[in-house]
């Protein structure tokens, strides 16, 4: 006997008034065979003496929320754009107009560049490692803090001008910044569990 049929047949024993949904299920079960449809009642509700007030309602409305995604970067307003160029692993350049305050990780993910950001930008991994190509731009950036330096120690292909993309925030001084993505990244979080 299928779980759905068992559910529908157990309603009278449980002293439950069938809701619209359960009536609809019962009608479909009687008219068709549903092998993939399953509805289960938790054991605590599946006793003969269970009061009907403890049985969950099957007619609750379904609620949804909008999905959030990585790379939530808004396009800049005309005249306020700053430019950053990413050089990917194959050597192709991607010049992107960005807003003041955007970080390199969000920018790269919003434009489908290959930058993982395994920790979600919380400075807890080195998968958003970038190499600043010109020393003068590197010098315009705030010094990396201890957390960033600790994560950079784990980065593949570390250089003197390496930074974590999640920690580089675009400012007018960094307009025209060029960063190179390393040939590979080291994600200790996922490799620990293989």
Task: Report all structural domains of the chain as residue ranges with CATH numbers, in order of start.
Answer: 3-54 (no CATH), 82-191 (3.10.20.30)
What SS3 state is found at 171?
A: coil
Q: How many CB atoms lie within 10 A of CB 42?
A: 8
Amino acid 103: pLDDT: 95
Contact 121, 105 (CB under 8 A): yes
113-142 pLDDT tens trace: 999 898 989 999 999 999 999 999 999 999
Question: What is residue 34's predicted lDDT score, i.e. its pLDDT?
Answer: 47
The residues that bridge with 132 in the sheet, in sequence order, are 179
State the average pLDDT over residues 56-61: 59
Give this prediction's pTM. 0.61
- At 164, which helix (H) or strand (E)? strand 162-164
What sections of the chain are H helices per DSSP?
A: 3-10, 20-31, 104-110, 135-140, 146-152, 188-191
- Which residues are 116's β-sheet partners? none
Residue 57 has pLDDT above 90, yes or no: no
**DSSP code, position 70:** S
Contacts 24+ apart (CB under 8 A), 172-175: 172/82, 172/100, 173/140, 174/82, 174/84, 174/137, 174/140, 174/141, 175/82, 175/83
Contact between 13 and 41 (Cβ < 8 Å):
no
Q: Residue 99: is its pLDDT beyond 50? A: yes
């Amino acid at each position: 006997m299928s779980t759905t049929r068992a559910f529908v047949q157990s309603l009278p024993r449980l002293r439950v008034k069938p809701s619209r949904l359960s009536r609809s299920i019962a009608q479909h079960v009687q008219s068709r065979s549903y092998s993939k449809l399953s509805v289960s009642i938790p054991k605590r509700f599946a006793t003969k003496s269970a009061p009907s007030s403890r049985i969950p309602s099957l007619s609750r409305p379904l609620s949804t929320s909008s999905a959030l995604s990585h790379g939530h970067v808004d396009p800049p307003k005309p005249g306020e754009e700053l430019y950053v160029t990413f050089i990917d692993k194959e050597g192709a350049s991607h010049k992107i107009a960005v807003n003041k305050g955007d970080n390199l990780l969000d920018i790269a993910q919003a434009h489908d560049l290959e930058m993982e950001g395994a920790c979600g930008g919380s400075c807890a991994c080195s998968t958003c490692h970038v190499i600043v190509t010109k020393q003068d731009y590197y010098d315009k950036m705030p010094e990396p803090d201890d957390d960033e330096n600790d994560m950079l120690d784990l980065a593949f292909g570390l250089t003197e001008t390496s930074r974590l993309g999640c920690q580089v925030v675009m400012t007018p001084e960094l307009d025209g910044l060029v960063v190179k993505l390393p040939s590979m990244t080291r994600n200790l979080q996922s490799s620990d569990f293989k």
